[in-house]
Amino acid sequence: MKRELFALTIVFLIFVAFPAALFGYQAQRTTTTGARVIALTANAPANGGWQPDAIRVNVGERVRLRIAAPDVVHGFAIPALDIYVDEILPGHVEEIEFVAARAGRYPFACTRWCSVDHWRMRGVIEVIDPGNPDPPLPTIAPPLYQQMNIDIDAPHPAQNVPAQRPSAARGARLDVSVPGDLRAQSPSNVFAELRGDPALKAYSDGQLWDVVAFAWKRASGDPASPGADSALARGSKLFVRDCAACHGETGKGNGPAGRNLPGLAAMQTDSRMAHGAYAKRGPADFTDAAQMLGASDVLLQGKVLRGGMGTGMPEWRTLYSDQDMWDLIGFIRSFVFDYGMSNAK
């Protein structure tokens, strides 16, 4: 009996008391003076999420965040303030200091996949100017899809679909230019315009689709193979971090978290939406050429910034800059266009 009690005591010391003491030491550790210390805890949403999920500080105030993650590995980011903590291990405390130079509301989020409800890991830091506690609300221009009166919930099937996956490399070798702002056009419509040009009669459908693929890659900022800091590389990182869990690593809409999205049970594959098209059950399949080639970049941007109404897809407008969204959309195109990357199978 004494041996069993001794063994249980050793187990308790190793797995409970020592980690708790270490955690307490790290939580109290300080190396910089003059900063307001704020404790922030990251728990999986089922365990409470961010605690607190709303923080108020003053303009010009030096703030030190002590971020703990008691349950699983989390990450932390305040994109608008360019603050990122890549990894917060259970039982450890990560510290970061910053000074907010201007008033505003700055959303923060977990950047590590922590559970099926990872998308709920959102919070906000509100920076107040004591000298101007009631500033006028900023004027924000409507998003492009609203300015262009695009119904992002309406079906947008492509009128033309290639027989094989278009290649940007092959398109680059053809002496065909595609003028105009491609963001407002769908690839399907651009192909139709090229196909209707008498000067391009000698080109096959496959060649013109290759031209379209190259045009979209060039518009993304990557006319050549993507480098470490290219737009496609940045978009790839965002996709892996924020999208792959639901949409799948290869973009097929088969990610593990996509099977349990809130609102998914209410979506019926045999029921028609208001527009008369059949609703798809689950996350979008980015390899579906009929859907992706019929959508403009502006339409896709609208879906990213607003989120999926009633589907569980969160909005990204508060966390992504405009450039983030365009980089992500440029990468998503690589699931139907061959950009010489290894993401699409």
Confidence of residue 1 (pLDDT cuts 50, 70, 90): low
Residues 6+ apart with CB under 8 A from 278: 269, 270, 271, 272
Mean pLDDT of the chain: 81
Lowest mean pLDDT across 73-77, 113-117, 123-127, 306-310: 306-310
Task: Say how far apart CA 52 and CA 170 lie, in whole Å.
Answer: 53
Q: According to the model, what pLDDT value does residue 235 have?
A: 93
In the structure encoding, which two tokens stand for residue 270, read together?
């045999």
Task: Say how far apart CA 261 and CA 312 lie, in whole Å.
Answer: 5
Q: According to the model, what pLDDT value does residue 79 have?
A: 85
Q: According to the model, what pLDDT value does residue 201 have?
A: 95
Indicate if the pLDDT at residue 252 is higher than 80: yes
Residues 6+ apart with CB under 8 A from 287: 250, 251, 252, 335, 336, 344
The percentage of the chain sitting over the pLDDT mark of 90, rounded to a whole number, equals 45
Q: Where are the domains of the chain?
A: 30-128, 145-335
Q: According to the model, what pLDDT value does residue 138 have?
A: 66
Indicate if the pLDDT at residue 278 is higher than 50: no
Q: According to the model, what pLDDT value does residue 322 have?
A: 87
Backbone angles phi, psi at 176, to 5 degrees: -135, 125
Helices 205-219 and 322-332, packing angle to 10 deg = 160
Considering only residues 90 and 268, tell me which one the structure prediction assigns the higher pLDDT.
90
The percentage of the chain sitting over the pLDDT mark of 70, rounded to a whole number, equals 78
Lowest mean pLDDT across 167-171, 288-292, 317-321: 317-321
Q: According to the model, what pLDDT value does residue 21 have?
A: 43
**For the segment 139-192, what is each residue's pLDDT rounded down to a tens digit?**
677 888 888 999 988 889 999 899 999 999 999 999 898 988 899 999 999 999
In the structure encoding, which two tokens stand for residue 98, read together?
């910053």
Q: According to the model, what pLDDT value does residue 208 have?
A: 97
| Domain covering 30-128 assigned CATH 2.60.40.420 in the classification | yes
**How far, CA to CA in Å, does 81 sit from each of 53, 90, 97?**
17, 25, 11
Confidence of residue 25 (pLDDT cuts 50, 70, 90): very low
